[in-house]
Amino acid sequence: MLDSILYRKKRAGILAVAAALVLGGCGHGGPDAEMPPQVRSVTVNPLQQVQTVKIGLGDVKKREIYEGIISPYVEELCFPEDGIFLEYRVSLGDTVRRGDTLAVTDVSAYREQAENLQEQIDELTAKYIYEIATRDNSLKICELELEETYKLIELTEYMQDNYTQLCINAGNLVSRMDRLELEKKHLTESYELELPYLQEQLLDCKEKLRSNILKAPFDGTVTELRPAVSGERVNDETPMAVLADTSRYLAVGDYVLRRDAEKAERVYVFINGEEYEAEYIPMDQKVYSALIAKEMTPYSSYEIYPAEPLEFGHMACIVIQQESRQQVLVAPGLAVQQEGARRYCYRKGPQGREKVYLETGLYDGLSYEILSGLQEGDEVYID
């Protein structure tokens, strides 16, 4: 396993060692016409020292390996809203509990705004109640007058004396009552539109009054506090504190695109000979953009869950396993050579050294998956 992980860095060393290995072996090639078209024997220098290896079954794993470091889970914290900084309530290195206040801002402007909004709501409600009550009273008066008018109409002979005028008065009263009902409807509609708007503003303002303090989102240790003085204006995008959760372990290394990590067959971290399954943590887009804007290098984080505590700051290998093949025919990469778009190797045959063209599959940087050209038990040369 360790050889696989270190292969990319030590391939030159492996080639040098392979070239220095001394195992006897030489042969004389026969006529090419006597061999299958994909195989031909070749003549080699009898003084050349070579090594052969038998072809067998094995696993091929295509992986990208990145250097990383073990770190606690850390989070940069910002105020929920813009404000005027007042003070920190903690010091660097303090251990805090979830919900503890880390820093506060001046919220007097929000308090004044909340008071003004509450006054507007009270005035709007009082005016609405008064206007509705006024029209209800007018409606009751109209109802009494209309009732009295109907009685007079019943007592008056048809088309005599003031009969016509009484009918006109009754119609006017009905029209006035309709207008009063319509006014009540309009007043209610306007009130029901304006009141929720003011209430929503007030609720938002009160939320800012309660939340525009910096709170710890989890138990942890304060590892950084941004320098700030009382009276300084701060915004909701500037990190003011960094909190570390030492009960969670991250491997932090070179930046890996989210799509590459999510489509990987397996993601794990290799530390001191042990493999730990890892969960890729996507970088927040705002953090990524801020790093790029500052010409800083972005990074990727992976959460791991060790059974025993790990040492923070320890180096690790982050492995993105893209795909793998289990128990397939494999040949060492040092035995396979390239000829244009074709690959080939030299096989040890009955008549000596034979050139065999191969069809290969997955290559993991160390071994090739062999699809055709060789069989299990064949011996191939590593030059």
How far is Cα 202 from Cα 114, in angstroms, rounded to an integer?
Answer: 6
> Cα dihedral sign for 147, 152, 158, 160?
negative
Helices (H) and strands (E) in the chain, counts: 5, 19
Residue 375's DSSP bridge partners are: none
Q: Read off the DSSP letter of residue 146.
A: H
Please write the tens of the pLDDT for every residue from 328-376.
Answer: 999 999 999 999 999 999 999 988 899 999 999 999 888 999 999 999 9
pLDDT at residue 313 tops 80: yes
Residues 87-106 as b or e (16 or more Cβ within 10 Å = b): ebebeeebebeeebebbbbe
pLDDT at residue 10 tops 70: no
How far is Cα 355 from Cα 270, in angstroms, rounded to an integer?
Answer: 39
pLDDT of residue 166: 87
Q: Write down the pTM of the prediction.
A: 0.52
Task: Give the confidence band of 219 by pLDDT, cuts at 50, 70, 90.
Answer: very high
| Phi-psi label, residue 373: left if phi above 0, alpha if psi -120 to 50, beta otherwise | left
Asked if residues 223 and 92 have their Cβ atoms less than 8 Å apart, the reply is yes
Task: Give the confidence band of 80 by pLDDT, cuts at 50, 70, 90.
Answer: confident
pLDDT at residue 45 tops 70: no
Q: Where are the alpha helices (DSSP H) in the chain?
A: 2-20, 108-155, 163-211, 258-262, 285-293
Residue 125's DSSP bridge partners are: none
How far is Cα 301 from Cα 318, in angstroms, rounded to an integer?
Answer: 10
- Candidates 318, 313, 375, 270; CA nearest to 1 is 270
Please write the tens of the pLDDT for every residue from 223-247.
Answer: 999 999 888 888 888 899 999 999 9
pLDDT at residue 4 tops 70: no
> Cα dihedral sign for 33, 34, 40, 45?
negative
Q: If you average pLDDT over every residue of the chain, what do you get?
A: 83
pLDDT at residue 48 tops 60: no
Please write the tens of the pLDDT for every residue from 82-121.
Answer: 888 989 999 999 999 999 999 988 777 777 888 899 999 9
Q: How far from 245 is each of 72, 219, 227, 233, CA to CA, in Å?
A: 6, 7, 22, 29
pLDDT of residue 35: 36
Helices 163-211, 108-155: axis angle to 10 degrees equals 170
